[in-house]
């Protein structure tokens, strides 16, 4: 019988640790809703002890998607962290506490400066305490792949006896190689099944040597029953195992792994794009499964073979990951019904009538400018609209702008709205974007430094939308902003404001703590 492999998504915890990928609560909820459509089994929604904002985001996710998906969050092996996880995940139907504590000599000696027995006891005490709060507790033996096997096993045995229901084996620093990691999982699994066969064995692999997916699949082959992954492989340093690659590896080679997952693979591409859009982190064009070229065939020999039979050069159909089924072409004459249909087909809620009307007006403006509106355009239109709606309550919005570009004195004039107030100013710069950013900086009164500016063309068609991603630094912290429009100057202004609004939200949150 085929084994069911549980998929644990940590995009909103490990993935969000990527510098500059900070998401606000509304964006995190948007991603969590998409993860629910993707049908992941468990969402790790954050690290609630780290900030009041993280706590609130985990709680909101537990409330909004926790009816069908299990929700967890990370705690160190200390009571206050465990309390924060418990309080934030408890609105979910099936909440889980996730505790992490190192088992390698280097962690025990350098991080904790305690004896091995004392560290093991900390883990046992943490699990015992977590079990007084919830029935489901996952224990992660951090840096497991560099730990002495017998000490690793003693820890696992002790925390299982204390009540842990899932044991997660992380390759924290991406040091493992597939044969060796598979062997480690096999050895642990043999002992674990003898100790208590209800305990789920899980893995969490990092990609420092580019082996995160290979190690994860090798672990499944050797008995792991749960995989921890992130969308687009986001995560610390070189990232985590990419969810889309692990899931499609298991699906395409189902007979080899004798396993399957409950993932709705048709949502993979959409999820990847949403995460890329909201984090501002691009997916490399040749990335497996979700890269732009993942299903493109350019060589004549390949094209000829494909025309004869797709299987000649295709091991999976693009439709399986949601690539072709997304295609829609709308025009200004398509009408409300067709537009609503397109929005809902993408998995978004159409919103209340007033909100839908605002969205439809934006669609008409875009359709006028672009003539043909593709599925990707609709997708970005909705996500952009939702982000602005969340921000407009108390943050800056672009009211109007004029930019004059020349080789003497490029000048920008900008009006910004914040609640009922409108402020206007002008500035000269080295170029049009410099002038634009200079006036915005002065109007909002924040001395932010522009660290990166990137512009991409999104979707197809003659009048493709431009997407601008920026990174700014304020008081030592990096924030990202993004926006899209058929007018790239407007997209540039909105991306900068989006980053500034992120600074304001973060500093307001910090002041409230």
**Residues lying near ligand KIV in the complex (CB under 6 A):** 14, 74, 100, 140, 142, 168, 170, 172, 204, 206
Question: Is the Cβ of residue 170 or residue 347 nearer to ligand KIV in the bound state?
Answer: 170
Residue 276 partner contact from ligand KIV, Zn ion, none using kind-dependent CB cut-offs of 5 to 8 Å: none
Query: Shortest distance, CB of residue 172 to Zn ion, whole angstroms?
Result: 6
Among candidate residues 420, 41, 431, the one with its CA nearest the CA of residue 200: 41
Judged by CB under 5 A, the number of residues near Zn ion is 1
Query: Shortest distance, CB of residue 86 to ligand KIV, whole angstroms?
Result: 17
Task: Tell me which residues in 1-40 interact with Zn ion (CB under 5 A).
Answer: 14
- Answer for the pair 270, 319: CB distance below 8 angstroms, yes or no: no
Instruction: Give the DSSP H/E element, type plus range, for residue 443.
Output: helix 432-444
Residue 465 partner contact from Zn ion, ligand KIV, none using kind-dependent CB cut-offs of 5 to 8 Å: none
Separation of first and last alpha carbons in the chain: 52
Residue 81 interacts with Zn ion (CB under 5 A)? no
For every residue of 367-397, DSSP letters joined together read HHHHSSEEHHHHHHHHHHHHHHHHHHTTS-E
Q: Can you say whether the dihedral through the CA atoms of 268, 274, 275, 276 is positive or negative?
A: positive
Question: Is the Cβ of residue 30 or residue 44 nearer to ligand KIV in the bound state?
Answer: 44
Question: Is the Cβ of residue 73 or residue 160 nearer to ligand KIV in the bound state?
Answer: 73
Question: Is the Cβ of residue 204 or residue 277 nearer to ligand KIV in the bound state?
Answer: 204
Query: Shortest distance, CB of residue 235 to ligand KIV, whole angstroms?
Result: 8
Beta strands in 178-277 (DSSP E): 200-205, 226-229, 259-260
Question: Is the Cβ of residue 28 or residue 107 nearer to ligand KIV in the bound state?
Answer: 107
Residue 506 partner contact from Zn ion, ligand KIV, none using kind-dependent CB cut-offs of 5 to 8 Å: none
Query: Shortest distance, CB of residue 68 to Zn ion, whole angstroms?
Result: 25
What is the Cα 463 distance to its own chain's centre? 29
Shortest Cβ contact with Zn ion: which residue? 14
Among candidate residues 47, 38, 42, 41, the one with its CA nearest the CA of residue 16: 47
In degrees, rounded to 5, the angle at the alpha carbon of residue 51 between the alpha carbons of residues 45 and 56 is: 50
Query: Shortest distance, CB of residue 138 to ligand KIV, whole angstroms?
Result: 9
Among candidate residues 404, 69, 374, 42, the one with its CA nearest the CA of residue 228: 42
Question: Is the Cβ of residue 61 or residue 439 nearer to ligand KIV in the bound state?
Answer: 61
Residue with tokens 């990202």: 480
Query: Shortest distance, CB of residue 10 to ligand KIV, whole angstroms?
Result: 7
Question: Is the Cβ of residue 13 or residue 376 nearer to Zn ion in the bound state?
Answer: 13
Residue 100 partner contact from ligand KIV, Zn ion, none using kind-dependent CB cut-offs of 5 to 8 Å: ligand KIV
Query: Shortest distance, CB of residue 349 to ligand KIV, whole angstroms?
Result: 32
Query: Shortest distance, CB of residue 89 to ligand KIV, whole angstroms?
Result: 15
Among candidate residues 65, 62, 45, 63, the one with its CA nearest the CA of residue 54: 45
Residue 142 partner contact from ligand KIV, Zn ion, none using kind-dependent CB cut-offs of 5 to 8 Å: ligand KIV
d(CA 103, CA 100): 10
Query: Shortest distance, CB of residue 204 to ligand KIV, whole angstroms?
Result: 5
Question: Is the Cβ of residue 164 or residue 359 nearer to ligand KIV in the bound state?
Answer: 164
Question: Is the Cβ of residue 168 or residue 469 nearer to ligand KIV in the bound state?
Answer: 168
d(CA 273, CA 278): 8
d(CA 430, CA 438): 10
d(CA 462, CA 373): 11
Q: Which residues make up the interface to Zn ion (CB under 5 A)?
A: 14
């Amino acid at each position: 019988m085929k084994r069911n492999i549980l998929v644990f998504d940590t995009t909103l915890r490990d993935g969000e640790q990527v510098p500059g990928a900070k998401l606000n609560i509304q964006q995190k909820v948007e991603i969590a809703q998409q993860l629910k459509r993707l049908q992941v089994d468990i969402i790790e929604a954050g690290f609630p002890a780290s900030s009041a904002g993280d706590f609130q985001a985990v709680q909101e996710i537990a409330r909004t998607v926790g009816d069908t998906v299990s929700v967890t969050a990370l705690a160190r092996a200390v009571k206050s962290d465990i309390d924060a996880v418990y309080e934030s995940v408890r609105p979910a139907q099936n909440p889980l506490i996730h505790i992490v504590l190192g088992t390698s000599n280097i962690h025990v000696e350098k991080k904790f400066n305690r004896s091995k027995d004392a560290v093991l006891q900390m883990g046992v005490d943490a699990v015992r305490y977590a079990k007084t709060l919830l029935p489901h507790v996952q224990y992660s033996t951090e840096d497991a792949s560099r730990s002495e096997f017998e000490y690793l096993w003693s820890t696992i045995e002790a925390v299982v006896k204390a009540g842990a229901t899932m044991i997660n084996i992380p390759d924290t620093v991406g040091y493992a190689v597939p044969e060796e990691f598979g062997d480690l999982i096999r050895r642990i699994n043999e002992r674990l099944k003898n100790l208590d066969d209800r305990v789920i064995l899980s893995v969490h692999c990092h990609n420092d040597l580019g082996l995160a997916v290979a190690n994860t699949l090798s672990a499944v082959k050797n008995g792991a029953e749960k995989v921890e992954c992130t969308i687009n492989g986001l995560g610390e340093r070189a990232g985590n195992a990419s969810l889309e690659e692990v899931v499609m590896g298991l699906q395409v080679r189902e007979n080899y792994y004798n396993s399957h997952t409950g993932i709705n693979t048709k949502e993979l591409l959409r999820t990847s794009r949403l995460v890329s859009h909201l984090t501002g982190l691009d997916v490399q064009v040749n990335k497996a499964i979700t890269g732009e070229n993942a299903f493109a065939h350019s060589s004549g020999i390949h094209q000829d073979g494909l025309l004869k039979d797709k299987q000649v050069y295709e091991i999976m159909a693009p439709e399986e990951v949601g690539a072709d089924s997304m295609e829609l072409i709308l025009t200004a004459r398509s009408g409300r019904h067709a537009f609503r249909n397109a929005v809902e087909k993408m998995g978004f809620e159409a919103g209340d009538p007033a909100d839908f009307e605002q969205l439809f007006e934006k669609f008409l403006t875009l359709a006028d400018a672009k003539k043909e509106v593709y599925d990707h355009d609709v997708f970005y239109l909705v996500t952009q609209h939702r982000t602005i709606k969340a921000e407009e309550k108390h943050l800056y919005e672009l009211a109007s702008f004029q930019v004059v570009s020349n080789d003497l004195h490029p000048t920008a004039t900008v009006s910004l709205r914040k609640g009922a107030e409108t402020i206007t100013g002008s500035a000269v710069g080295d170029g049009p974007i410099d002038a634009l950013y200079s006036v915005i900086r002065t109007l909002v009164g924040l001395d932010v430094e522009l660290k990166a500016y990137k512009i991409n063309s999104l979707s197809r068609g003659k009048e493709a939308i431009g997407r601008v991603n920026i990174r700014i630094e304020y008081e030592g912290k990096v924030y990202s902003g993004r926006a899209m429009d058929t007018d790239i100057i407007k997209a540039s202004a909105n991306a900068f404001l989006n980053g500034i609004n992120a600074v304001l939200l973060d500093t307001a949150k910090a002041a409230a703590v």
